[in-house]
Amino acid sequence: MPNLTGKAALVTGGGKGIGAAIAKRLASDGARVAITYSASADKARKVVDDIAAAGGEAIAIKADSADAGAVTSAVEQTVARFGRIDILVNNAGIGVSATIEEMTLEDYDRCFAVNVRGTFVAIQQAARRMESGGRIVTIGSVNADRIPFTHGAIYAATKAAVAGLTRGVARDLGPRGITVNTVQPGPIDTDMNPADGPYAASGLPALAVGHYGRTEDVASLVAYLVSSEAAYITGASLNVDGGYNA
C-alpha cells in the first residue's frame, strides 16, 4: 500500500460518493485530509468522523467550487491546519442533463464554473504552495472521450476541458517535480448514478466486466497516482471504467 505518512491532502467535494472514498483511502494510507463540501454538511462530518474513528486526521471545509474565493480559502485552511499541502484531488463536479436546445446559459455557466474554473483555481492555489513531490489529480470522466447518449454535451465538454488543462499544467509543473493527472471514471455505483438506476440499462451493455464499479475502485487509482511510486506518470488521463470505453 502507498505510504502517505506526513503528507497533507485536500479533496474537493469529499463529503460523499467518489470524493468520500478517496478521502478515506488517502487517510488510511497515512495522509492528513481536508475535504470540501457545498451543501451536505452532515455527510461531510460523517466522513471526518469515520476517518477519526479509524485513527486518522481530517477536517471539513464548506466551499462551493464555483466560488473562487471559497476555493482559495479551502487551500489556505488546509495549509493552516496541516502546515503544508502535498496532494490536491479535484473531485467536486456537477452535471446538468439537457439537450443542447434545452440547456440554459445559466446551467452552462454553472457547469463550467464548478467543473473547470473551480478546478483551475484549486490547482493554481495549491501549486503555489506545493513543494517537489506534490501530486495533483482531477476526477474527469470517460465521457470526455466518448459520449454515447443524449443530454450530456455540456458535461462532456467540461470533462474534456479538464483533461486538456491537466496536460498543459503537467508541462508547467513538471520541472518542479509535481505530477498532474486526470482519472476518468466510467459508470460507478453512487447516489447520483446507482447501479440499479435509470441509466443502468443503457450503461451495462457497454461494460466489458458486466457491472458498475465501486467508489473504492476510483480511490485505489488515485492513491497510487499520489504516491511516490507514480513519480513518472504525469499529463495522463487514465480510465477506471470496466472497459466502457474499450
Q: How many Å apart are CA 129 and CA 72, to the nearest integer?
A: 12
Q: Which residues are catalytic?
A: 155
Strands 135-139 and 8-11: unpaired
Determine contact, residues 93/139, Cβ cutoff 8 Å. Answer: yes
Q: Which residues contact 140 (CB under 8 A, 6 or more apart)?
A: 159, 162, 163, 166, 182, 183, 184, 185, 237
Sheet holding 8-11, edge to edge: 58-62, 32-37, 8-11, 87-90, 135-139, 179-185, 237-240
Q: How many Å apart are CA 77 and CA 74, to the nearest integer?
A: 5
- 53 three-state secondary structure: helix
- 60 three-state secondary structure: strand
Cell of 149: 447518449
Query: Taking each helix axis from N to C terminus, what angle separates 105-112 and 153-173, rounded to the nearest 10 degrees?
Result: 30
Q: Which amino acid is at 120?
A: F
